[in-house]
Amino acid sequence: MAANLGIYILGCVLACVLSKTGEYVFSGFVLIMLAAGEYAFYFRRHGYLFQMEAVFSLFWTGGMGLSAMKLSRLAEDWEYLTWISFTLAYIFFILGYEWAGRRECAGRELFRKLRVKIWGDERTGKPGKDETAKRLFRCILAILLVSYACFLLEAAVIREIPLFSDKPHAYSYFHLSGVHYFTVSSIFVLPLSVLYKKVRGKLSVKEWTALGVSCCAALAIPVLCVSRFQLMLAVLLSICVAVAAYPQIKLRYIILVLAALIPVYVGLTVARNHDVAYLNGIFEMKNAETPIFVTQPYMYVANNYDNFNCLVKELPAHTFGLRQLFPVFALTGLKFLAPGLVNFPIYVTKTELTTVTLIYDAYYDFGVWGVALFGLVLGMACRKVASSQKKSGNPVSCLFYAQIAMYLVFSFFTTWFSNPTTWFWLGLTAIIYVYVGHRQKEYVSGKIQL
């Protein structure tokens, strides 16, 4: 591990030197190659497409590489503290992940003996496969019904549906405080359906039809909301769960699903009423001839790192925990009683481009030391989630893993762990986990494991 991190540090130093000499494209290229190499290293080591160290390596460092190329006039040369923060976030994440893994070594031999895990019913002492499937399907229906009820409530109060609105930012206004958390929870229907199929095994025509209708109805909500991100998250969560549930799944099937998502993504972009001239005016690409289908995903990733650099340059004082405590203030309603707890300026390159990186609030609160500590704690927590998923007989543990993995995939996008929606989703997953496993135990080699 030391050699691997040493190579990573040298790669970041080289990229920083190239950037400071104005060789931005080469600087970004070094980071992209570094990201690919790190992903390959951890993939070979663990053999899993969504292994957490691997996905964080690829998307965090790869995003840095895209941003370091500075293809937009909005991008400025990064501060040294920015480079240090980006590098420390990764290094301490890996250190935390590996350190937490060493602490589990004492129980590893026991874990290897737990070869067969089948859900069983504590009351009858018999395998409860059918009961588990029934509970998963009830959860699918409950989430779908509640999501639609809340969607219809929001539509009735706001008096419009974003897909049929002519406003450029209709989705931004489609939000009732406290209600929208339930609306967007429809993203869980698709991954829960994958788990249902895994537990249930062979499905009848009636079951296939019920699952298909449920999934289509659930995906209709992000389409009606014109939310590209929610649509992508629902599909990617399902892919992550499917890879865990079906290790033999072919990579080409995953690629086909992602390819099918592209036209839907483009259609939702058009439905947002953002024409090419509008987007090009915001993104300010150095090469005005860059096609919009390249510009938009590039800026979707790259500008977030530049927003972090704005924070480093302009932040007058740290907030010592208040930014990262925002989920507490939001979910308890304290933000309405004491607005001063949450009213802090956001430092970005342009007012229309407000997405930030995973470590934005950690730096806002405690500076570079906060970034290092955040990376360490996150790495340890991710290892704990990964280990629990391997040991658990509860199929919903896959959904916990998939969520955290997706937050690492989109580490360039926002401050996931100081976002109240993240904690609402994790809480909802915990409720499903408890319900599915209630009064059931694991069978291990024919005996109940207590």
User: 């549930």: which residue's tokens?
Assistant: 245
Dig out the tokens for 439 from the structure: 């009064």
Report if residue 181 sits inside a domain: yes
Number of domains in the chain: 1
Check pLDDT > 50 for residue 122: no
Does residue 285 sit within a domain? Answer: no
Strand ranges in 111-223 using DSSP code E only, listed in sequence order = 117-121, 126-127
In this structure, is residue 14 part of a structural domain?
A: no
Q: Cβ distance 186 to 143 under 8 Å?
A: yes
Helical pair 228-245 and 189-200, crossing angle rounded to 10 deg: 20
92 half-sphere exposure, CB direction, 13 A CA radius: 18
Q: What's the rounded mean pLDDT across residues 64-91?
A: 95
Query: Looking at the domain assignment, is residue 260 inside a domain?
Result: yes
* Residue 160, token pair as written in the block: 């419009």
Residue 60 placed within a domain = no
Domain contains 25? no
Residue 43, domain member (yes or no)? no
- What pLDDT digit, counting tens, does each position of 104-117 carry? 654 443 333 323 34
State pLDDT tens for residues 284-337.
Answer: 888 877 777 788 888 889 999 999 999 999 999 999 999 999 999 988 888 888
Q: Which amino acid is at 170?
A: A
H helices of 272-359, where? 276-283, 292-314, 326-332, 334-337
* pLDDT tens digits, one per residue of 345-391: 999 998 888 889 999 999 999 999 999 999 999 999 999 998 888 77
- Averaged confidence pLDDT in the chain: 85
Alpha-carbon gap, residue 186 to 217, rounded angstroms: 9
160, part of any domain: yes
Give me the amino acid identity at 62. Answer: G
Give the separation between CA 101 and CA 172, rounded to whole angstroms: 41
- Predicted confidence (pLDDT) at residue 450 exceeds the cutoff of 50: no
Which of left, alpha, beta for 87 (phi over 0: left; psi -120 to 50: alpha)? alpha
The 3 state secondary structure assigned to 16-58 is HHHHHCCCHHHHHHHHHHHHHHHHHHHHHHHCCCCCHHHHHHH
Domain that holds residue 268: 122-277+384-449
pTM: 0.88
Residue 121: its pLDDT value, please? 47
> What tokens appear for 354 in the block?
């407000």
Q: CA 233 to CA 222: how far, in whole Å?
A: 10
Res. 443: pLDDT tops 50: no
